C-alpha cells in the first residue's frame, strides 16, 4: 500500500518560485517581523522594525532585475500558479513602486512613532502586508486574485489609518475609510459575480477571448451584454474608490486629514498606484475588446475628477486636505490617459498612464514626507499659517518641498511635466480634444493651489507674524531619516524630470506587456 | 429552480444592504449591512457557478466568506476603538473631519 502511494503522482500547477521573490519576501518577512517582536520584546523598541522593513523592501528591489532577465527570456510573460498570476514588466514596475514607497514610508514612520510616543512593529507589518496585496493586484490574471489583492491591500490600510491610538481624528478617518471601502469592495465583488455570470470565467485572458470570440456564437444565453455592462460598471466603482476618482472621492479629504501623515504618504503613493494598476490590468486586458462600452464612463470620471478636485482644492486651508483634492486631480489625469488608450491611442495612452503612476507615486511620497516633518509633534501643524516663513526657519525642507510642489503643478524639467505632457499628447493622439482641454484648464487651476503654498512658505510676513513664525519654526525638529526620505523623492523628481528615459525603457516594456496580453 | 430566482434574491439582498449602509446610524448595523451585500454576492457566485457547471464560482464564494470574516473583524475593532473614546457608535456623530 505504502509502496503504491509512493509511486502515485499528484498533478499540481507548476509554481516558479524564483519569480515570486518580492511577494514571498514581503509577506513572509512581515510574518517573521511580528513573530520576532512578539517573542523578544526588546526588538519592539528602537529602529529594528523599520530597518527590517527597509531591508526587505530593498532586497525585493534587488531581485527585480534578476526576475526581469528571466521574464525576458520567457518572452515577456511568465504565467505562474496555473496562470492565476502573470509576472511581466508591468508587475515588476508596480512592485518597484511598492518597494520604493515602503522604504520612504518606513524612514518617515520610524521618527514619527518615536515623536508621538507610539510603539509597535504592527505599523510596519501592516505596511508590508499591504504592499504584498498591491503587488498581487498588479500581477493578477484572475479576478479572484485581483479581489484578494484588493482586500489584502485595503484591510491593512484601514487599520493603519486608525492606528494613532490617542488621536480621535485618526480613528474617525479609519472608520470612514473602512465603511466606504468595505461598501465599495462589496460592490466591486458584485461586479465580479456579474462578469463571471456573463462570461463563465474569472481568468482575465479567458474573459477577453470569450468577449472577442463574439457573443453571437451562442456560447451562453446569458451573454446579453447587459450583465457584462453592469459588471464593468460595478468594477469601475470599486476601482474608482481606490484611486479616489470623482464621484467616488468624498472620503479622500477626510481620511487624508485624519490619518497619520506617513500613512497618508503610503495611501497616496502605493494604494493609488495599486488601484490604478488593477484597473489597467482588468480593463485593458479583459475588457480591451469592448473599450467602446466603458470609454464614455471613464471619460466622464476623468473630467469630473479634474474639475471637482481642482475647484475644491482652491478653498482649503489645511495642506493635507489640499493635497487630498490634488490627488483627485491626479487620478483624473490618469483616467484621461486611460480614456485616450481606449479611444485609439492604445500604445501612447497606456504608456502615459503607466508613467503617470510612477511620477505621482514619487511626487506624493515626497510631498507627504515634507508634511510629516513640518506637522511636528501631535501631527497637527497642517494649516496654511504654519507654513508662513518656513523658507527662513527651515530653508532645506522648504526648498525641497517647493521642488515637489512645482513638479505636481507640472513645471518643466520635473517629472510632473512629463507625466502631464504625455497624458495630454496621448489624449490628442486619440482625438479627445475636449477632455484634453478640460484637463489642461484644471491643471492650471490646480497649479494655483501649489503656488499658493509655495508663496506662503517664501512669503516675507508682517514683523510680529514673522517673529511668531520664526519661533514656531525654531521648534521644528527635522529628523535625519525624514530629511533623507524627502531628499530621495526630490532627487527622483529632478532625475526623471531632466532625463525622462532614465534607467531604461521600463514604461514602454510595461505597456507592451499589458497590450500583448489582449 | 430558475436562475433568475437566485439573481432576484441576490439583488434584493444587495439593495437592502446598500440601503442599510446608507441609512443606519449604528456602526454595528452598518457592518451587518455590508455582510448582507457580501452574501448577496455569494448567492450570485454559487448560482452562476452551478449554471455554468464550473466550480470556480463556489471556490470564489469560499474566498469571499473568509475575506468577509477578516473584514468584519477589523471593522468591529475600529468600532470598539471609537466606542472607547466617545461612548457612542453613532456614525453620524463622527463629524470631526469636515471642510
pLDDT in tens, A355-374: 999 999 999 999 999 999 98
pLDDT in tens, A202-216: 999 888 888 888 655
With cell 486586458, the residue in question is: A285
> Using the beta-carbon criterion (under 8 Å), do A178 and B99 form an inter-chain contact?
no
d(CA A358, CA A338): 15
The whole-number average pLDDT for the span B3-11 is 92
The pLDDT assigned to A471 comes to: 46
> Using the beta-carbon criterion (under 8 Å), do B67 and A147 form an inter-chain contact?
yes
Number of H helices, E strands in chain B: 3, 0
d(CA A140, CA A91): 9
Mean model confidence pLDDT for chain A: 88
pLDDT band, residue A217 (cuts 50/70/90): low
d(CA B1, CA B50): 11
The pLDDT assigned to A505 comes to: 82
Which one of A144, A175, A318 has the shortest CB-CB distance to B60?
A144
- Closest chain A residue to the Cα of B47, Cα to Cα: A197
> What ipTM was reported for this prediction?
0.95
Identify whether the C-beta of residue A352 lies closer than 8 Å to the C-beta of residue A428.
no
Q: How many domains does chain B have?
A: 1
The pLDDT assigned to A26 comes to: 95
pLDDT band, residue A461 (cuts 50/70/90): low
The whole-number average pLDDT for the span B68-76 is 93
d(CA A452, CA B66): 48
Identify whether the C-beta of residue A89 lies closer than 8 Å to the C-beta of residue A76.
yes
pLDDT band, residue A221 (cuts 50/70/90): very low
d(CA A473, CA A388): 9
Q: What percent of chain A has pLDDT over 70?
A: 94
pLDDT in tens, A9-54: 888 877 888 889 999 999 999 999 999 999 988 888 778 999 999 9
User: A155 contacts in B (CB within 8 Å)?
Assistant: 70-71, 74
User: A151 contacts in B (CB within 8 Å)?
Assistant: 67, 70-71
Domain layout of chain A by residue ranges: 16-515
pLDDT higher than 90, residue A511: no
> Using the beta-carbon criterion (under 8 Å), do A197 and B51 form an inter-chain contact?
yes
pLDDT band, residue A439 (cuts 50/70/90): very high
Q: How far is B62 from chain A (nearest CA, A)?
A: 11
The whole-number average pLDDT for the span A269-277 is 95
> Using the beta-carbon criterion (under 8 Å), do A222 and B34 form an inter-chain contact?
no
- Residue B48's domain spans which residues? 3-93
With cell 441576490, the residue in question is: B10
The strand ranges marked E within A256-384 are none
The pLDDT assigned to A117 comes to: 85
The pLDDT assigned to A400 comes to: 93
The pLDDT assigned to A459 comes to: 78
Residues β-bridged to residue A87: A78
Q: How far is B77 from chain A (nearest CA, A)?
A: 9
Please check whether residue B98 lies inside any domain of the structure: no
Could you give the 3-state DSSP secondary structure of residue A87?
strand
Identify whether the C-beta of residue A333 lies closer than 8 Å to the C-beta of residue A282.
no
pLDDT higher than 60, residue A469: no
In the structure grid, which three cell numbers stand for residue A82, read together?
Answer: 496555473
Identify whether the C-beta of residue A112 lies closer than 8 Å to the C-beta of residue A261.
yes
The pLDDT assigned to B99 comes to: 60
User: B82 contacts in A (CB within 8 Å)?
Assistant: 171-172, 175
Could you give the 3-state DSSP secondary structure of residue B54?
coil
Angle of CA points A432, A246, A443, to nearest 5°:
55
Angle of CA points A471, A473, A479, to nearest 5°:
135
Q: Domain holding B66: CATH number? A: 1.10.287.3510
pLDDT in tens, A76-87: 777 888 888 888
The pLDDT assigned to A389 comes to: 82
Q: Report CA-CA distances (Å) from A248 to A237, A238, A244, B1.
A: 7, 9, 6, 37
pTM of structure: 0.92
pLDDT in tens, A148-188: 999 999 999 999 999 988 888 898 899 999 999 999 999 99
- Closest chain A residue to the Cα of B34, Cα to Cα: A183
The pLDDT assigned to A292 comes to: 85
Amino acid at each position: 500500500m505504502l509502496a503504491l502511494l509512493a509511486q502515485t503522482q499528484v498533478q499540481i500547477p507548476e509554481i516558479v518560485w524564483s519569480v515570486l521573490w518580492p511577494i514571498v519576501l514581503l509577506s513572509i518577512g512581515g510574518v517573521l517581523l511580528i513573530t520576532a517582536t512578539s517573542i523578544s520584546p526588546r526588538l519592539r523598541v528602537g529602529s529594528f522594525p523599520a530597518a527590517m522593513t527597509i531591508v526587505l523592501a530593498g532586497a525585493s528591489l534587488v531581485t527585480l532585475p534578476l526576475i526581469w532577465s528571466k521574464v525576458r527570456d520567457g518572452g515577456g510573460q511568465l504565467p505562474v500558479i496555473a496562470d492565476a498570476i502573470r509576472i511581466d514588466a508591468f508587475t515588476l514596475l508596480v512592485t518597484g513602486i511598492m518597494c520604493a514607497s515602503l522604504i520612504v514610508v518606513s524612514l518617515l514612520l520610524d521618527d514619527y512613532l518615536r515623536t508621538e510616543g507610539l510603539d509597535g512593529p504592527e505599523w510596519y507589518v501592516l505596511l508590508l502586508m499591504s504592499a504584498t496585496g498591491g503587488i498581487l493586484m498588479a500581477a493578477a490574471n484572475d479576478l479572484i486574485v485581483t479581489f484578494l489583492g484588493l482586500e489584502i491591500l485595503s484591510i491593512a490600510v484601514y487599520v493603519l489609518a486608525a492606528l494613532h491610538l490617542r488621536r480621535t481624528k485618526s480613528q474617525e478617518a479609519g472608520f470612514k475609510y473602512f465603511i466606504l471601502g468595505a461598501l465599495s469592495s462589496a460592490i466591486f465583488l458584485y461586479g465580479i459575480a456579474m462578469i463571471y455570470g456573463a462570461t463563465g470565467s474569472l481568468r482575465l485572458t479567458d474573459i477577453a477571448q470569450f468577449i472577442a470570440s463574439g457573443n453571437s456564437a451562442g456560447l451562453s444565453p446569458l451573454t446579453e451584454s447587459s450583465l457584462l455592462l453592469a459588471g464593468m460598471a460595478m468594477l469601475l466603482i470599486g476601482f474608482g474608490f481606490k484611486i479616489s476618482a470623482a464621484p467616488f472621492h468624498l472620503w479622500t479629504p477626510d481620511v487624508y486629514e485624519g490619518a497619520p501623515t506617513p500613512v497618508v504618504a503610503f495611501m497616496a503613493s502605493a494604494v493609488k498606484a495599486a488601484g490604478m494598476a488593477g484597473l489597467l490590468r482588468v480593463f485593458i486586458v479583459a475588457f480591451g475588446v469592448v473599450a467602446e462600452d466603458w470609454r464614455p464612463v471613464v471619460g466622464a470620471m476623468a473630467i469630473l475628477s479634474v474639475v471637482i478636485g481642482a475647484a475644491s482644492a482652491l478653498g482649503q486651508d489645511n495642506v493635507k486636505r489640499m493635497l487630498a483634492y490634488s490627488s483627485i486631480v491626479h487620478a483624473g489625469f490618469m483616467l484621461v490617459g486611460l480614456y485616450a488608450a481606449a479611444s485609439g491611442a492604445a500604445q501612447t495612452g497606456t504608456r502615459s498612464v503607466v508613467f503617470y503612476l510612477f511620477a505621482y507615486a514619487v511626487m506624493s511620497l515626497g510631498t507627504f514626507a515634507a508634511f510629516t516633518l513640518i506637522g511636528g509633534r501631535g501631527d497637527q501643524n497642517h494649516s496654511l499659517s504654519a507654513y508662513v516663513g518656513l523658507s527662513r526657519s527651515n530653508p532645506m525642507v522648504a526648498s525641497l518641498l517647493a521642488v515637489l510642489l512645482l513638479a505636481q503643478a507640472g513645471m518643466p524639467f520635473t517629472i510632473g511635466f512629463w507625466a502631464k505632457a504625455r497624458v495630454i499628447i496621448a489624449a490628442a493622439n486619440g482625438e479627445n480634444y475636449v477632455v484634453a482641454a478640460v484637463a489642461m484648464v484644471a491643471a492650471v487651476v490646480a497649479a494655483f493651489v501649489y503656488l499658493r503654498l509655495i508663496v506662503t512658505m517664501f512669503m516675507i510676513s508682517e514683523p510680529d507674524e514673522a517673529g511668531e513664525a520664526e519661533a514656531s519654526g525654531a521648534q521644528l525638529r527635522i529628523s535625519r531619516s525624514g530629511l533623507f526620505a524627502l531628499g530621495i523623492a526630490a532627487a527622483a523628481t529632478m532625475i526623471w524630470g531632466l532625463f525622462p528615459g532614465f534607467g531604461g525603457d521600463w514604461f514602454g516594456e510595461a505597456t507592451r506587456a499589458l497590450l500583448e496580453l489582449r | 429552480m430558475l436562475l433568475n430566482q437566485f439573481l432576484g434574491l441576490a439583488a434584493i439582498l444587495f439593495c437592502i444592504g446598500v440601503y442599510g449602509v446608507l441609512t443606519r446610524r449604528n456602526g454595528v448595523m452598518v457592518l451587518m449591512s455590508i455582510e448582507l451585500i457580501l452574501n448577496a454576492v455569494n448567492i450570485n457566485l454559487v448560482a452562476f457557478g452551478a449554471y455554468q457547471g464550473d466550480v470556480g464560482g463556489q471556490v470564489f464564494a469560499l474566498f469571499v466568506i473568509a475575506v468577509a470574516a477578516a473584514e468584519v473583524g477589523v471593522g468591529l475593532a475600529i468600532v470598539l476603538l471609537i466606542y472607547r473614546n466617545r461612548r457612542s457608535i453613532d456614525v453620524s456623530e463622527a463629524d470631526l473631519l469636515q471642510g
